[in-house]
Structure 1
C-alpha cells in the first residue's frame, strides 16, 4: 500500500516514538449499508453549487488527484472539474483502474509528479481518495520538495488491514498481502508537508479511527477535518469539496488550521469537532 521510498520510521522523530496501537475494527454492516447515500451526496452538489462557487480562488498550481481502490480517473472527474473552475490545474493519475501498487504503478506516479514539477516550476498539491491518499502521502514523504501539500479523503493510513471492509478486495485485485506490505512502512507517519485528512465517522468502508492523523512534533502542520459523508460519497460531498478548496487556497508557506468555527455556528455544525469524545 505504500511507496518503496518511505521505509518504517523514515518520517518519524524521537517525539513520535510512543504511538498508539493501530485501529483494527472495520465499520459495522449497518454503516456499510448506508454507503448507498452516496447518490444523495452527488445529487446535493447542484443545490450547493452557488455556495461552492464562492470558495477561495486558486492560484493556478497543479493538483494531482488519485482515485480509490478499484476506481479510475472517471470517479474524480467531478472534483477535478470543480477545482478547475476555481482556477487550479488538476489532473488524474492516468493509470486506469487502481488495483493496488502493482509493478510500475508507484514509479509512474512518481515520474508524473517529477515531470509536472519540472514543467511548471511549482510545487504540486496531492489529493488522494481512500487508497489513493496512501499513495499521495508516501509520494510526499519521498519528494517533499516537490509537494505543496497533501489532502486525503477517507484514507486508511492509521489502521491495520482489518480496519476496512475492503482489504480482501485489495488482496484479490493487487495479488499482494496488505498486512505484509504495511509492515515495511510507517504509514501513520505524516509527510513533512502540510497534511489534511478529511474523514467521516459514518464511513462504511474505512473505520474513521484509521483516518486520524495523530499530533506530530516533527510536523505540526497536520490536521483532521470531519465531514458528514459516506466513504463512496467523499469525493462528491459538498462539505468535503469546500474543505478541499479552502485548504488548497492557502498561500505556500502560510499554512493555518482549518477554520472550523471561525465562519459561524452553522460552519461548526457542518464540520464537527474531531477532538470530541
Structure 2
C-alpha cells in the first residue's frame, strides 16, 4: 500500500481487514490451539541443539538447492539449514525475493526469474526446498519449468485438502491482499509437479494441518512424517537429517 494516496490507502486497508474477517467457507480447521502455542517456543530450538549430538556427513551426491521461505519469513530464517546443507557439500541458493509476503503474481514472477537466472549460469537442474508457503510456490515453479528442477521437497507446505486448513490464512489474506483459494496465477494447487515431489509433514505442526501438508498419493510421490513443530522444519536436527537423506537419495 506504500505510495497510495491517503484515501486509496485507507480503502485498501479496509478491504484487507475485511478479507481477514471473512468467515471460513468450509469445515477445515488448522491445528489445535495447544500446538499453535508451542510454535512460540521456537527460540529455544537453537538452545536444544546445543545439547544434541548430530554430525553432518559428506553428501554422496552434492547438489545445488534453492531455499524458499514460508509466509512472513525472510530467508534468514532458513540460514541455519542452508549452512548445514553447505557443510555437507551442497550449494545452497537463496530465492532472491526477500520476505515472503504471499504468492502474488509479481512475487512469483520474481522467483521464477531467479530460477531462470540460476539455470542460465548452470543448466544442471536444481533441487527446490520450500518451507510452508515456499513449498507451494516451489511446486508451481516445477510445474512451469520441470526441465530446470531435479526434485521438490516441501516442509510443512499446505498444498492439499483445504487452503484454510491452517492457522495463518486470515493473516495471509490481510497481507497478500487476496483470498487463499483465489491464487493470482492459474493453477491447480494440489496437482503434482512432473518431477519427483516429496512432502515432509508433522503431526506436531501448529500452523498447517497434517492432512494439508501430507497430501494424497496422487498429489506427491512420497510423504515423510517428522515429529517437529512448524518452525522446527528449518531449525531442528530431525528435519535437517531428513532433508540430507532425501538429497542423497537422488
Question: Residues 39 and 197 from structure 1, CA distance in 2 versus in 1: closer, same or farther, beyond 3 angstroms?
Answer: same
Question: Is 1:85 aligned with 2:87?
Answer: yes
Match of 1:245 in 2: 244
Q: TM-score, normalised by structure 1?
A: 0.75
Q: How does 1:42-191 map to 2 (within 5 A)?
A: 42-48=46-52, 50-54=53-57, 57=59, 59-181=61-183, 185-191=187-193
Residues of 2 paired with 1:75 and 1:59: CA distance?
25
2 CA distance for matches of 1:212 and 1:182?
Answer: 24
1:38 and 2:42 correspond? yes
Q: Mind listing any 5+ residue stretches in structure 1 that lack a counterpart? A: 1-21, 252-277
Decide whether the 8 Å contact of 2:123 with 2:148 is kept in 1: no
CA contact (8 A) 1:199 1:211 kept: yes
Q: Is the 8 A contact 1:213 1:223 kept in 2?
A: no
How far the C-alpha of 1:46 sits from its partner, in A, is: 3.3
Q: Point out 4+ residue stretches in structure 1 off by more than 6 angstroms.
A: none
Residues 107-131 of structure 1: CA distance to partner in whole angstroms, max 9, x if unpaired? 1111111121221121100000100
What is the DSSP-based 3-state SS (H/G/I as helix, E as strand, rest coil) of the residue aligned with 1:179?
coil
The more displaced of 64-73 and 171-180 is 171-180
1:205 partnered with 2:207: yes
Distance in structure 2 (CA, Å) of the matches to 1:195 and 1:162: 22
Deviation at 1:45, TM superposition (A): 2.9
Distance 1:193 1:52 in 2: 30
Distance change in 2, residues 1:127/1:183 (3 Å): closer
CA spacing shift, 1:114–1:182, aligned 2, 3 Å: closer
Mapped to 2, the partners of 1:182 and 1:154 lie a distance apart of 22
Give 1:43 shift.
Answer: 2.6
Shift of 1:62: 1.6
Q: Per-residue deviation at 1:26?
A: 1.1
After TM superposition, the score normalised by the length of structure 2 is 0.83
Question: Structure 1 CA distance, aligned partners of 2:234 and 2:46?
Answer: 9
Long gaps (5+) in structure 2: 1-25
Deviation at 1:58, TM superposition (A): 5.2
Query: Are residues 144 and 24 of structure 1, via their aligned partners in 2, closer, same or farther at CA, if it must alter by over 3 Å?
Result: same
Instruction: Report what 2:18 is aligned to.
Output: none
Q: CA offsets per residue over residues 60-92 of structure 1, 9 Å max, x none?
A: 432100001111111010000011111111011
SS in 2 for 1:249: helix
- Residues 196, 221 of structure 2: 8 Å contact kept: yes
Distance in structure 2 (CA, Å) of the matches to 1:178 and 1:167: 7
